[in-house]
Amino acid sequence: MRGRIHRISANQHFVHAEGGVYSCRYRGKLKQERQNVLRLAAVGDEVDFAASGAGEGIIEKVIPRRSKLSRHDAFRPRYEQVIAANVDLLVIVHSASNPELSLLTIDKCTVMGQANRLPSIVVVNKTDLGDVRDAVAHYSRLGFPLVFACAERGEGIEELRAQMRRNTSVFLGPSGVGKTSLLNALRGDSGLKVGEVSPRTGEGRHTTTWVELLEFEPNTWAIDTPGLEFFTLWGVSIENLAEHFPDLAERAPRCKFRMSCSHTQEPGCEVARGLEDGSVVRARYESYVKIREDLIKKRRELG
């Protein structure tokens, strides 16, 4: 049978198929292949499997992916960790406040989307706690549609639903910004556990503890993810970082040292000229510099 993985817990893969939900494990041959990668399959993958008992099955083949969202593994950073497979849209979620809006975090998410060739939208939740429209207005100009929402009041939900319709979307953002609350609002229930923001740190507490694929309309799927406090950019290097900032990449060919310009100190840099005349958003440039510094530091650590 052909099915799709909705959740992975330890070595159990919960596969949804026409005949129901099956708790599956790998066939022996696949186990050997699995030794060469961290995970042979991810949530969202399609698999061929054979039923082996009541509600149980054996995965015989993982179907090649058409897309994925990845990061470095937290414990073995040289390995790729696929967060979700076969996705069409990256939904970047942050809150207007509680926790405080971080443009750097949003920019890291847009870079992840660009690196994985995924269209992205930016959702600002908890708009009842603050007005940040001016601070994020540049995203829509850069090709990242903006949705302003308040999950508690139901505001922005239909607009978000329209963006996601007939797609598989993956929700990405820090803990506490309201990813699960938005999904509950989209589903019209409160079935998913929602956490609170720590009054001591102002940061979100983890509520979603695993990646899970949810269907809330026919042929419309969403993948809920834990808050990504361990934030790395698989496939992004010091050399290609600017390519994943579309607003910088379109200027780079006009730099004086276009093959080697880091856009941080070289004379004749077109990005620097854009900063001077206001055509490059300073907050985006600052995010670029910070991410680049982090990549330099990581390369030194890994040797």
Secondary structure in 3-state letters for 38-99: CCCCCCCCEEEEEEEECCEEEEEEECCCCCEEEEECCCCCCCEEEEEECCCEEEEEEECCCC
38 shares a domain with 8 = yes
Q: What pLDDT, on the 0 to 100 scale, is given for residue 46?
A: 97
220 shares a domain with 87 = yes
Q: Count of residues for the chain?
A: 303
151 shares a domain with 204 = yes
118 shares a domain with 199 = yes
Q: What pLDDT, on the 0 to 100 scale, is given for residue 27?
A: 83
Residue-wise pLDDT for 6-16, tens only, equals 999 988 999 99
94 shares a domain with 175 = yes
Whole-structure pTM value? 0.89
- Pick out the chain residues at pLDDT < 70: 29, 31-38, 190-209, 228-231
In whole angstroms, give the CA distance from residue 211 to residue 226. 7
Q: Which domain holds residue 26?
A: 2-64
125 shares a domain with 177 = yes
Q: What is the number of domains present in the chain?
A: 3
Answer with the one of 171, 197, 224 that is the final residue of a domain.
224
What is the per-residue DSSP string for 212-279?
EEEEEETTEEEEE-----S---TT--TTTGGGG-HHHHTTGGGSTTTTT--SSS-TT-HHHHHHHHT-
> Residue 189 sits in a domain of what CATH number?
3.40.50.300
Query: Are 44 and 84 contacting, i.e. CB atoms less than 8 angstroms apart?
Result: yes
Q: What pLDDT, on the 0 to 100 scale, is given for residue 188?
A: 86
Classify 289 as helix, strand or coil. Answer: helix
183 shares a domain with 140 = yes
Answer with the one of 190, 224, 258 that is the final residue of a domain.
224
125 shares a domain with 57 = no
